[in-house]
């Protein structure tokens, strides 16, 4: 059976998590986190996973996919929940594989939050950091293990983890795992798992390679889908400025200022370009940080944390590093360089305008990139008309120029956090000076 127009509405009729049949301790955690209504992918996936079916789910980060697989798996593991100190009573039952360290960390934070009222243990392992603390956590016993493939194989090789009791396997962002060349690692991991298991594959796109992966790893899977692969979110305003390569830095700064952009992800194609742009922004006094695959783990985490706390205004990132970073209500994404693959364009701009919030995606397109732009237009089936850069009209110095105001290109002030949410879900838009109780931002200081 496939989820199609006929049966999807019945599954989506549930309007609360309780109607999806989740147990009270899970419902309590969700309530504390402020989740009241399941997202479309959650409504579709949760009942099917609870039923025990394999799943191919097409959903991007931002749709609530982590809860869509974590919640039903927690539910299914309830009979095994126990408070025993013995590692033997806590074998790995659910294995979640993620392509990047950031995504693995984020998924684990969510799992921890969802399972906070259950005696089920979880941990996360990823490369680039000391293996020993991870070994200790694994040896103590965990029911849920979130891992990047390479580091998991390292642990399996040194026998610090046993995978023979895994009942549930989740392949998160499977398309990205294939893009990153993880297929051989995935095959080796699959060989370590029991063949009797439930497998859930999540991917933003479903091209032939993913279908092939599903064919070899999944059994009679159901397909669920929440967004078509080449549709850019309607709520994202897509703006193109034609700019010479040499003028892009000025153009970026000008758009940020004139549009009062509090924080943005700025995409480059390569690590080298990300480093170069980040450094040039920093030299201009902009609070910029850089995130890409060659950065040490501590640097990547501190850049992300700075961004989430609002200390970093522009986070310069490559596609792979930015994948899976969960950022709530990010107002703007810049394509400082257009990606080679149109699908990456859709992923990039999908980082903004989530859950109905309006977002802005600004592409700075040099003449050499016209062909890439044409490819993107064909892919999203939409013309992206270039418009002139906004005028940077000189204006009197106002409160808006003060550090901390959105668009100031100086450090935004610290952000308030929503209680009870996992840390990774905490990038809120900075408080605006025009919020109730604040002075009129238009008045001169």
Query: 390: how many CB neighbours lie within 10 A of its CB?
Result: 14
As a whole number of angstroms, the distance between CA 184 and CA 171 comes to 14
The pair of structure tokens assigned to 134 is 């991870």
Q: How many residues bind ligand AMP (CB under 6 A)?
A: 15
Among 35, 126, 182, 217, the residue binding ligand AMP under the rule CB under 6 A is 35
- In the complex with ligand AMP, which residue's Cβ is closer, 161 or 346? 346
Instruction: Kindly state whether residue 38 participates in binding ligand AMP, applying the rule CB under 6 A.
Output: yes
- In the complex with ligand AMP, which residue's Cβ is closer, 16 or 82? 16
Cα distances (angstroms) measured from residue 54 to each of 20, 242, 346: 18, 46, 27
* Minimum distance, C-beta of residue 39 to ligand AMP, in the bound complex (Å): 5
Only segment of 3-11, 60-68, 164-172, 263-271 that touches ligand AMP (CB under 6 A): 60-68
- In the complex with ligand AMP, which residue's Cβ is closer, 14 or 92? 14
Only segment of 63-71, 288-296, 301-309, 397-405 that touches ligand AMP (CB under 6 A): 63-71
Only segment of 33-41, 173-181, 343-351, 382-390 that touches ligand AMP (CB under 6 A): 33-41
- In the complex with ligand AMP, which residue's Cβ is closer, 161 or 233? 233
| Residue 360, beta-bridge partner list | 237, 332
* Range 255-258, long-range pairs (CB < 8 A, 24+ positions): 255/334, 255/362, 255/389, 255/390, 256/313, 256/314, 256/407, 256/409, 257/392, 257/407, 257/408, 257/409, 258/390, 258/391, 258/392, 258/393, 258/407
Residues 6+ apart with CB under 8 A from 5: none
* Range 4-7, long-range pairs (CB < 8 A, 24+ positions): none
| Residue 57, beta-bridge partner list | 202, 224
Among 25, 47, 64, 406, the residue binding ligand AMP under the rule CB under 6 A is 64
In three-state secondary structure terms, 265 is: strand
Only segment of 31-39, 213-221, 274-282, 391-399 that touches ligand AMP (CB under 6 A): 31-39
Instruction: Kindly state whether residue 65 participates in binding ligand AMP, applying the rule CB under 6 A.
Output: yes
* Minimum distance, C-beta of residue 366 to ligand AMP, in the bound complex (Å): 32
As a whole number of angstroms, the distance between CA 341 and CA 379 comes to 10
Among 44, 58, 66, 203, the residue binding ligand AMP under the rule CB under 6 A is 66
Contact positions vs ligand AMP (CB under 6 A): 35, 37-39, 42, 61-67, 326, 328, 425
């Amino acid at each position: 059976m496939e989820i199609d127009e006929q049966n999807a509405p019945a599954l989506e009729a549930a309007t609360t998590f309780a109607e999806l049949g989740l147990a009270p301790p899970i419902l309590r955690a969700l309530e504390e986190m402020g989740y009241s209504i399941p997202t479309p992918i959650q409504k579709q996936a949760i009942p099917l996973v609870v039923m025990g079916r394999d799943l191919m789910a097409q959903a991007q980060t931002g749709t609530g996919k982590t809860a869509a697989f974590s919640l039903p798996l927690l539910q299914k593991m309830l009979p095994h929940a126990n408070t025993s100190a013995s590692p033997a009573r806590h074998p790995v039952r659910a294995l979640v594989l993620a392509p990047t360290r950031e995504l693995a960390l984020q998924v684990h934070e969510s799992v921890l939050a969802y399972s906070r009222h259950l005696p089920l243990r979880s941990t996360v392992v990823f490369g680039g950091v000391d293996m020993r603390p991870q070994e200790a956590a694994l040896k103590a016993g965990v029911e849920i293990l979130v891992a990047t493939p390479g580091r998991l194989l390292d642990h399996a090789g040194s026998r610090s983890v046993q995978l023979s009791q895994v009942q549930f396997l989740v392949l998160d962002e499977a398309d990205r795992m294939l893009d990153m060349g993880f297929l051989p690692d995935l095959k080796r991991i699959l060989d370590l798992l029991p063949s009797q298991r439930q497998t859930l594959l999540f991917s933003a796109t479903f091209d032939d390679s993913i279908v092939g992966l599903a064919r070899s790893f999944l059994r009679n899977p159901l397909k669920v889908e929440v967004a078509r692969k080449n549709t850019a979110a309607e709520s994202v305003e897509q703006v193109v400025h034609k700019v010479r390569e040499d003028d892009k830095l000025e153009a970026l700064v000008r758009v940020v200022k004139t549009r009062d952009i509090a924080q943005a992800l700025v995409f480059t194609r390569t690590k080298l370009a990300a480093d170069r742009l980040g450094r040039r922004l920093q030299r201009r006094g902009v609070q910029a940080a850089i995130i890409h695959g060659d950065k040490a783990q501590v640097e990547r985490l501190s850049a992300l944390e700075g961004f989430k706390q609002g200390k970093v205004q522009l986070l310069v990132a490559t596609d792979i590093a930015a994948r899976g970073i969960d950022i709530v209500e990010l107002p703007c994404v810049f394509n400082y360089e257009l990606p080679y693959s149109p699908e990456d364009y859709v992923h990039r701009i999908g980082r903004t305008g989530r859950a109905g919030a309006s977002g802005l995606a600004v592409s700075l397109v040099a003449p050499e990139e016209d062909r890439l732009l044409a490819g993107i237009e064909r892919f999203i089936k939409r013309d992206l008309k270039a418009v002139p850069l906004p005028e940077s009209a000189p204006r009197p110095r106002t409160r808006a120029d003060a550090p901390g105001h959105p668009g100031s290109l100086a450090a935004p002030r610290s952000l308030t956090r929503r209680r009870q949410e996992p840390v990774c879900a905490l990038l809120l838009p900075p408080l605006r000076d025009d919020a109730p109780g604040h002075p009129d931002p238009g008045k001169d200081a």
